[in-house]
Structure 1
């Protein structure tokens, strides 16, 4: 299939889009389910936020490692990027402005979230990458252009993560800095591939800031 992730479920929780002031799109990791990301959403729940979680076909957004050549992950990668874009458009069509949509991913989902945001630079509510970074064997800065207009971007990763090189996190942060985002990259010592309570605190504060900006 040329577009394997189309017509997959879009799981939802939290406020309805009609009532929400902020939307969060949550992108799951390899071998996971969208429902699992809604469990994470409960950890950072805010009453004014609608949570949307797209589902990858067979639980994986692309077949190879995120450091593989881009063509090795096609057509799945392009389809996955469209799925993320479609989830954002669902929020926008439901009445949440794009600048109040927060994009969050974990692991493979974090790689996909950063790649989508960098390829589609503009103002968002925020971008959060938990254990992930830009996709490809090397960071090609010519692939990314435009301005994120001060969008808060948080990249968190453990220094013992077996899947995500710390250098790729720093390289990704540099790209977002070039794209005029407000970037924080935080490397946690003696930590592997996981989500930490400190990262959840960052996400809660980010959501609170976006909600308060609408008041």
Structure 2
């Protein structure tokens, strides 16, 4: 199994689990700092570490073949964390995915490839992965799983059109989508996003 940092409540004592996925060049340890801002006191936290601190080498909208090998490995790493939670007796509807940037893209992609009733998906600046979105590769039903995507309207790495396409496809798969889009050009997590998520997804 790949490196998996555990934090928060011991998983044997927790009813809810959050799988946190870091951004490019960051680490599992760094994404765990979100526990200082999000209402996750009752959660067990699982943070997988990407090989070389990167989930895939190129843009999430690069030609599919360029990211394919690394992306497949990264999706397997996320699945290991998910299956670890399941084996601890946690139900899928009590498992949340939370990611930033590359980690947000990976969160959305993994959830869409395994669509089912989840606790929620929180994507801080991200969209689904691929040169073009191909709805045929996804199946399943989110059964009203809440999915949040927050981003700048002009983020340098994540085009607004891909966020819109992702939201539309996820909604077609049965998710309840909320997008919060901002006028600034910052590649960051904003307090407004934290506040919305805490109020609506992690009350």
How far apart are the structure 1 equivalents of 2:18 and 2:6? 10
Task: Report if the CA contact (8 A) 1:19-1:48 is conserved.
Answer: no
Tell me what 2:128 maps to. Answer: 134
Tell me what 2:51 maps to. Answer: 57
Tell me what 1:94 maps to. Answer: 88
Task: Report if the CA contact (8 A) 2:62-2:131 is conserved.
Answer: yes
Aligned with 2:130: secondary structure?
A: coil
Tell me what 1:212 maps to. Answer: none
How far apart are the structure 1 equivalents of 2:192 and 2:44? 22
Report the count of equivalent residues. 202
TM-score scaled to structure 1, two decimals?
0.90
Per-residue CA deviation, residues 148-189 of structure 1 (Å, 9 max, x unaligned), is 000000011111311000010010000111001111111111
How far apart are the structure 1 equivalents of 2:197 and 2:73? 27
How far apart are the structure 2 equivalents of 1:51 and 1:42? 12
Q: Would you say 1:171 and 2:165 are equivalent positions? A: yes
Q: CA deviation at 1:54?
A: 0.3
Over 4 Å off, 4+ runs: none
Q: Would you say 1:35 and 2:29 are equivalent positions? A: yes
Q: Would you say 1:151 and 2:176 are equivalent positions? A: no
Tell me what 2:66 maps to. Answer: 72
Tell me what 1:110 maps to. Answer: 104
**Structure 1 stretches lacking a partner, 5+ long:** 1-6, 209-215
Q: Would you say 1:125 and 2:111 are equivalent positions? A: no
